[in-house]
Amino acid sequence: MISNLQQEFVLHFGEMGSRWGINRTVGQIYAVLFLSEKPLNADQIVEAISVSRSNVSMGLKELQAWNLVRLKHVQGDRRDYFTTPDDLWEIVRTLVEQRKKREIDPTLTKLRELQLQGPNSPEDQYAHGKIAELGEMIELLTSWYDDMNKLETERLIQLLQLGSKLQNILGKTEKLIPSLNKRKKTAE
Amino acid sequence: MISNLQQEFVLHFGEMGSRWGINRTVGQIYAVLFLSEKPLNADQIVEAISVSRSNVSMGLKELQAWNLVRLKHVQGDRRDYFTTPDDLWEIVRTLVEQRKKREIDPTLTKLRELQLQGPNSPEDQYAHGKIAELGEMIELLTSWYDDMNKLETERLIQLLQLGSKLQNILGKTEKLIPSLNKRKKTAE
DNA sequence: TATAAATTTCAGAAATTTCTGAAACTTTGA
DNA sequence: TCAAAGTTTCAGAAATTTCTGAAATTTATA
């Protein structure tokens, strides 16, 4: 059985699930695995969150597809056991990556496609411009993301901790290493 | 009537809606307004996307609650007209802010609450630790976000464009202004 | 290769979300 | 104040998503 603390955490993840674009069961499965020190098998998860075996099976499949849980095998046991990666930063990276893939990339593709087909009539002038503008902005954001994603976790944490102090640094470097501050093009 | 280019854009936003946590109609309404040079009233939106008048009314209400559309009045016309803000960066800020409010803040609150109630039994030790760790990481991320959000748009764009070049700057400043690089605490 | 344990699939049931049309409400100006 | 134009609300219909249990499939080992 599952403790009170764990219960509450799991229920919260279930409720939030819908806001995060996953369903309740998937959220709960993830939460249970996240809090568990040892890998769990499907039946243990069923016991912990009281849903059907098949539902857990599908949820685990989905989480595996998302790369959010790992399959582990326990010596002398035929059943599949699951865990979450224990590096939280890896989880965050995966999460962001997945959301980008599902929520941003298809739109970026569509925008490029629409840009290509151009304004077919004068009254599309304005719309075409807006589409281009939106595309440029999303490209700026995703290429920044790609850059950040390349950084080692240690460096990334450093940057996050610096936060807006960066502004000062930037101010100072502007004088020291002006070349670094060259602007490319403004997606205004 | 709506052009082909616009039609395609609107349909795409409708389809993506569900992935973005809004419904199809809301996505379509937003798309129509985004592409329209002039403010539109509810009936014009109905005509453009072919859904019921009441559906548009509710969608507009939702978009207003999200702060993603603005009410405009046209001289000598009693009806309400709507537009999207024309600064794209403002839209992005709103979007991020709203998502944070709905998807992150409630969890942060819950995590703090759970941390406070502490591990009630020895077997909660591990879970309690994980909850604390998760809380710290989310706090780091949100406080970074708060910092970024304070920046003027111009500065923000600069930072985004720098991307991973920052790493170089950081490397150099480390020698020049070492105090700025002090670490606080690692949420590893 | 046979069999028993474990897992997955899938059709329909249950739950949830979205959408509509009719009715209620609000606002404007004659 | 009344009526007409405009807007919102809301109960139930329609659509979509999630969940279940039974059957099918896969896997390990005797």
Has residue B180 got a pLDDT over 90? no
Nucleotide of closest approach to A43 (CA, C1'): C6
Q: What's residue B32's pLDDT?
A: 98
Has residue B63 got a pLDDT over 70? yes
Query: For chain A, how far is it from start to end, CA to CA, in angstroms?
Result: 55
CB contact under 8 A, B12 and A107: yes
Least CB-CB distance to A120: which of B4, B110, B184?
Answer: B4
Q: What's residue A172's pLDDT?
A: 62
Better pLDDT: A155 or B111:
B111
pLDDT tens readout for residues B9-18: 999 999 999 8
User: How many angstroms separate the Cα of A80 from the Cα of each of A36, A42, A51, A58?
Assistant: 15, 7, 18, 14
Has residue B26 got a pLDDT over 70? yes
Q: What's residue A188's pLDDT?
A: 35
Residues of chain A with pLDDT under 50: 181-188
Has residue B142 got a pLDDT over 80? yes
What average pLDDT score do residues B37-61 get?
A: 97
Average pLDDT, chain B: 89
pLDDT tens readout for residues B77-86: 999 999 999 8
pTM over 0.85: yes
Better pLDDT: B188 or B87:
B87
Q: What's residue A18's pLDDT?
A: 86
CA–C1' B86–C14 (A):
44
Tell me the nearest-neighbour CA distance from A156 into chain B, angstroms: 9
What average pLDDT score do residues B161-181 get?
A: 64
What average pLDDT score do residues B35-42 get?
A: 96
- Give residues with Cβ within 8 angstroms of A111, minimum separation 6: A131, A134, A135, A138
Q: How confident is the model at residue B41 (pLDDT cuts 50, 70, 90)?
A: very high
Q: How confident is the model at residue B171 (pLDDT cuts 50, 70, 90)?
A: low
Has residue B92 got a pLDDT over 60? yes
Q: Is there a contact between B62 and B72 (Cβ–Cβ < 8 Å)? A: no
What average pLDDT score do residues B30-38 get?
A: 97
Q: What's residue A170's pLDDT?
A: 66
- Which of chain D's bases lie under 7 Å from a protein CB? 5-10, 16-22, 28-29
Q: What's residue A173's pLDDT?
A: 60
Tell me the nearest-neighbour CA distance from B129 into chain A, angstroms: 9
Q: Is there a contact between A30 and A13 (Cβ–Cβ < 8 Å)? A: yes
CB contact under 8 A, A163 and B169: no
Between the CA atoms of A130, A131, A134 and A139, what dihedral angle is there, to the nearest 10 degrees? -140
Q: Is there a contact between A163 and B148 (Cβ–Cβ < 8 Å)? A: yes
Tell me the nearest-neighbour CA distance from A84 into chain B, angstroms: 12
Query: Coil, strand or helix: which one is A155?
Result: helix
Handedness of CA A53, A57, A60, A66 (dihedral sign): negative
Has residue B138 got a pLDDT over 90? yes
* Mutation site for B-interface testing, chosen from A130, A137, A177, A188 by largest number of B Cβ within 10 Å: A130
Has residue B125 got a pLDDT over 60? yes
State the angle between helix axes of B88-99 and B125-150 in degrees (0 to 180), rounded to the nearest 10. 160
Has residue B172 got a pLDDT over 90? no
Residue A124 DSSP label: G
